[in-house]
Amino acid sequence: MNVVEAEELVVTYRRGKVIAVNGISFSVKEGEVFVLIGPDGAGKSSILKAICGVKGYKEGNLRVFGEDPNKEREFERIKEKISFMPQGLGQNLYHKLSVEENIDFFAELYGVPLEEKEKRKEELLKITGLYSFKRRKAGKLSGGMMQKLGICCSLIHKPKLLVLDEPTTGVDPLSRREIWKLIYRFSRGGTTVIVSTSYLDEAERGTGILFMEKGKELFKGTPEELTKVDLEVFVVEGKDIEEAYHRAWTISKTPRFKGNKLRVVSSEGKLREILKDLNVSIKKVKPNLEDVFVEKIGLVRVEVPEEFKPKVEVPDIAISVEGVTKKFGKFTAVDNVSFTVRRGEIFAFLGPNGAGKTTLIKTIIGLYSPTEGKIRVADRENNFKNLIGYMSQKFSLYSDLTVIENLILWGSVYGVKPSKVKEIFDSVSSSLGLRKFEREIVKNLPLGIKQRVALLSALIHSPAILFLDEPTSGVDPVERDVFWQLIRGVSRKFGTTVIVTTHYMNEAEYCDRILMMNRGKIIALGTPDELKKEVAMSQTKSEITMEDVFVFKVEESEGKEN
């Protein structure tokens, strides 16, 4: 039985001027875990909203449990079978209510009988590990906990169809695993699940995939069918890897750094020919879903402009943190942390939601005062504002201003004249894909474009030290590559020091060193290779990934504390 059937579906915005979904056809069977993937602005959220009756469709046919979402009166009969969790951390929650109160509210909304509500609530809280936090305010939860609570609220009335719009965006790898265990559990119980995601490894967990771009279908089928493509994929490594990267762009639109290795889709003959005089090795590997994604969409080459070269050179030790503790009342968010960051390093903070990473960044840059300890930035304890750039975890641009107005505003904060801001924008807008968005209101932009503007705002005054708090959260692999070309470019070309937090473990491979935190404390510090070798000594797996390192180190630290 098909729970959802769509034929030549068209969804538009702005009175038909913007086509978000353009002639898409697909069906979802009962009990399936159906995954939507594609770049930002592909139309994934629009399809999910149309399925749930949140957004009307313009053309084609759409049936959910046999009913048409555009016919409100008829669709009302089956709405209780559907539960929709929108995109964004805690978007379906009431942050001033407790965990338990949020679930109670949704249960009452759906008319769940009291006895059944209490039984099901206790079950969901225990499954998600939220039972001991049931009296905590939703706004005080970590990102992963918020998402799990959102799913609890969505499941309290036993829906037959669960629709999740990027439920794991902004959550750590352990929380992602727990959320997917929850999805599988209810799928096996007969609940049909439709989910969109920017994590390609999650797409591989579905029973079916709809791969979209610009509102149209690129592929429809199983994950196995998608990766059984005629692609030649190679990993390149060696002394001349930087030159290999530049040459690979002449024959392919897929070159990506993976740590100190290069991954590229190309014909073997062409690749070996252009790299034949370089000191590198070339190894053919099996294609994965990311290879298929970037080959179909195509990466964009980003040239780092001279305008981003720092005007002030910082000392060899760009940042020094000594015994720093930050408390909020009785709660210790950062606990006796010490480390240094060298000039030109790409230095990552990793850890679960709520580990203290964002608090540590805000303490270093002076938004918070440390409770204990000393911090020096560019060998200064204060007066370093113009030396640093900061892109916050939560989107910090003004949504009612245009792109160029936002950039001019942030430039003025750092003493950059509007004429200079426009000059910088003109030099980078084409490679960043921002030219056509110059006069667009920010709230109308796709997430990936918003994030590009936010990064450009942090770079507009050419800082010597750049702080990026989850800059790629929620964006697709093509967008993430744009960010990392810029990050790597300013670091390698100009010696800019970059401190970055991320929940994408493959991004950790791009960093020179990694500081891992849990519950405010340092649990590991070293290069990606050093950390993987350390974990490999206690594992039987033939190949250790950074996700393996993350899970092992966090669980090890939890064991020590418990």
Q: Residue 230, SS3?
A: coil
Residue 278 pLDDT more than 60?
yes
**What is the C-alpha to C-alpha distance for residues 247 and 359, in angstroms, rounded to an integer?**
41
Q: What are the residue ranges spanned by the domains of the chain?
A: 2-226, 232-286, 306-557
Domain 2-226 class, CATH top level: alpha beta
Contact 210, 217 (CB under 8 A): yes
Mean pLDDT for the chain overall: 91
Distances in Å between the Cα of 409 and the Cα atoms of 18, 233, 387, 436 are 29, 44, 18, 20
**What is the C-alpha to C-alpha distance for residues 377 and 275, in angstroms, rounded to an integer?**
41
**What is the C-alpha to C-alpha distance for residues 317 and 60, in angstroms, rounded to an integer?**
61
Same fold, 2-226 and 306-557: yes
Contact residues for 438 (Cβ-Cβ < 8 A; gap 6+): 402, 403, 404, 425, 429
Residue 449 pLDDT more than 80?
yes
The predicted pLDDT at position 270 comes to 96
Rg of the chain taking only CA atoms, in angstroms: 24
Residue 75: both structure tokens together:
């669709």
> Mind listing the pLDDT tens digit for each residue in 77-114?
999 999 999 887 677 899 999 999 999 999 999 899 99
The predicted pLDDT at position 444 comes to 82
Q: How many CB atoms lie within 10 A of CB 555?
A: 12
Instruction: Identify the residue with better confidence: 281 or 471.
Output: 281
Which pTM value belongs to this model? 0.86
The predicted pLDDT at position 88 comes to 75
In sign, the C-alpha dihedral spanning 217, 220, 223, 228 is negative
The predicted pLDDT at position 171 comes to 80
* Amino acid residing at 481: D
Find the range with the poorest average confidence among 97-106, 273-282, 494-503, 542-551. Answer: 542-551
Quick one: CATH architecture of 232-286?
A: 2-Layer Sandwich (3.30)
The predicted pLDDT at position 395 comes to 63
Residue 165: both structure tokens together:
């719009």
Residue 562 pLDDT more than 70?
no
Instruction: Identify the residue with better confidence: 9 or 542.
Output: 9
E-assigned strand segments in 232-363? 233-238, 256-258, 261-265, 280-285, 317-328, 331-342, 346-350
> Mind listing the pLDDT tens digit for each residue in 536-561?
988 777 788 898 999 999 999 987 65
> Mind listing the pLDDT tens digit for each residue in 371-407?
999 999 999 998 898 999 999 876 678 889 999 999 9
The predicted pLDDT at position 134 comes to 92
The predicted pLDDT at position 58 comes to 95
Instruction: Identify the residue with better confidence: 526 or 229.
Output: 526
The predicted pLDDT at position 560 comes to 63
Closest CA to 450 of 460, 438, 442: 442
Average pLDDT over residues 432-443: 88
CATH fold of 306-557 reads Rossmann fold (3.40.50)
